[in-house]
Amino acid sequence: MNRTDSNRWRTVDIVVASVIAVAFGVVFQLWNILWKGSDGPFAFFAPLQSVMYGVWLIPAVLSALIVRKPGAALLTETVASTVSVLLGSPYGAMAILQGAVQGLGVEAVFAATRYRLYRPLTAALAGACGGLFATLFDALYWYPGTSWTTFRLPYIAFGVLSCLLVAGLGAVALTRALANTGVLDRFPAGRDRALV
């Protein structure tokens, strides 16, 4: 198969990316509730709340690892955030833009590898980059009046670490678990079980 054919989306790719997006759109809505409810426990140091951030980027990394096509991370994250909005996200339509920004951050790392590397290190870096894009967006849009030194920079650092671990390495663990069941046998991730 030549390089152009391997980048073409198959029907099964679209279906799997969509299923991941819808499932995580529901998870996002539940996570939104948990996030809003965690203001109190993190009141002692508000930037630490971003340790919860990684969950919001799992679908982008997971879809990129499974589908392995240009745009998979961006599409899946944007659709997941759209589902979250349709379910009543407290962040309104801005959450769709936020999802696209998150997906772009993840997508950037896989694009930098020319969509050829799908190892744990690549996934971890993709999660971290997506977290950087997302928390920078937050710092500029949601928290414009806060201090860079006492709030925004720590918020970004904790968020990036969370996304590296939870979204990046968490997506690797999910991909391996799914591959071991055989459900990913139609995908390179299913055939490369030891590599992902």
Integer distance in angstroms from the first to the last C-alpha of the chain?
21
pTM of the model: 0.94
Contact indicator for 44, 164 with CB cutoff of 8 Å: no
Q: What is the mean pLDDT of residues 119-125?
A: 98
User: Where would I find the beta strands (DSSP E) of the chain?
Assistant: none
Q: Which amino acid makes up residue 52?
A: M
Query: In this model, does residue 192 exceed pLDDT 80?
Result: no
Q: What is the mean pLDDT of residues 5-29?
A: 94
Q: Which amino acid makes up residue 150?
A: T
**Buried-state track 90-119, b at ≥16 Cβ within 10 A, e below 16:** ebeeebbebbbbbbbbbbbbbbeeebeebe
Residue 97 to residue 117: CA distance in whole angstroms: 27
* Per-residue pLDDT reduced to its tens digit, 33-70: 999 999 999 999 999 999 999 999 999 999 999 999 99
The percentage of the chain sitting over the pLDDT mark of 90, rounded to a whole number, equals 91
List % helix, strand, coil for the chain (3-state, nearest 5).
75, 0, 25
Classify 49 in phi/psi space as left (phi over 0), alpha (psi -120 to 50) or beta.
alpha
Q: What pLDDT, on a 0 to 100 scale, did the predictor assign at position 72?
A: 98
Residue 171 to residue 92: CA distance in whole angstroms: 26
* Per-residue pLDDT reduced to its tens digit, 78-92: 999 999 999 999 999
Q: Which amino acid makes up residue 22?
A: V
Q: What pLDDT, on a 0 to 100 scale, did the predictor assign at position 100?
A: 98
Number of H helices and E strands in the chain, helices first, is: 9, 0
Q: Closest Cα partner for 28 from 110, 107, 88?
A: 88
Query: In this model, does residue 196 exceed pLDDT 60?
Result: no
| Beta-carbon contacts of residue 133 (< 8 Å; ≥ 6 apart) | 101, 102, 104, 105, 108
